[in-house]
Amino acid sequence: MNLIIDVGNTLSKVAVFQQDELIERFTVEKPDLSKKIEKIFSRHPDLDGVIISKVSQAEFSLPQNLQKKMPIINLDAGTRLPFENLYATPQTLGADRKALVAAAVKEYPGKSVLVIDAGTCITYDFKNEKDQYLGGAISPGLKMRFKALNSFTANLPLVEAREEAELIGDSTLTSIRSGVVKGILKEIDGVIEEYKEKYPELVTIITGGDAQFLSINLKNSIFANSNFLLEGLNHILEFNISR
């Protein structure tokens, strides 16, 4: 049984896996993270391993009393990965992107896979049929685009996404919503189409906070998986403790 800890600046995700099966999943605020982990340890004293992934600004380590004699993987530039990493600057590759590629390798071995993570930023990560990670792209996410229009102009308001984004906005609010939502959908569909031209058998996965909202409006066939990152972290942990 594995404990997966994904630490963000404000919110963190904690999950327990029994081999490949997700048993429990929690989203907790950072001040409550240590207490939540202590409760998980009390319920699952037979944990086999722990992996900790965190954004660069976040600081977290297991409480001293919980550091048992079991593998504890802090995902960093030196962690072994279950794929060949051909990124030109591997030391700069974020832990979240590593985890997403690991999940793609686990779920779709021998296939070309594009993973789209629709969060604060939209990341595109591609691995080929040889399970080699080639790289991808990073662009502003949905909320970031709305905030940018509000922050860098004098008169444009801050707008929230809605499923109904008309092509022709008939007010400032609906014009912003049309530009941002339609623009992001066209971007994603366009990126998928370019990959498909080169890799016709491409499998496309979308995950992240805005995945559900975006996936139902995309033209291309796409699989939404909200647990893809956690599954990838679990695979990296299994890969390391089995060697």
Q: Binding site residues for K(+), as ranges?
A: 117
Cβ contact 84:104 at 8 Å? no
Where is 114: in which H helix or E strand? strand 113-118
Which residue numbers belong to the known binding site for substrate?
A: 87, 94-97, 172
CA distance 115 to 124: 6
Known catalytic membership, residue 96? yes
- The candidate with the shortest Cα–Cα distance to 101, out of 72, 144, 140, 130, is 130
Helix spans in the chain (H): 33-43, 95-107, 142-151, 172-177, 183-198, 211-215, 228-241
What is the distance of C-alpha 209 from the center of its chain? Answer: 9
Residue in 46, 48, 76, 96 annotated catalytic: 96
Cβ contact 186:95 at 8 Å? no
Question: How big is the chain, counted in residues?
Answer: 243
Which residue numbers belong to the known binding site for ATP?
A: 6-13, 120
Output the 3-class SS for 159-191: CCCCCCCCCCCCCHHHHHHHHHHHHHHHHHHHH
Which residue numbers belong to the known binding site?
A: 6-13, 87, 94-97, 117, 120, 172
- The candidate with the shortest Cα–Cα distance to 188, out of 134, 142, 120, is 142
Catalytic site residues?
96
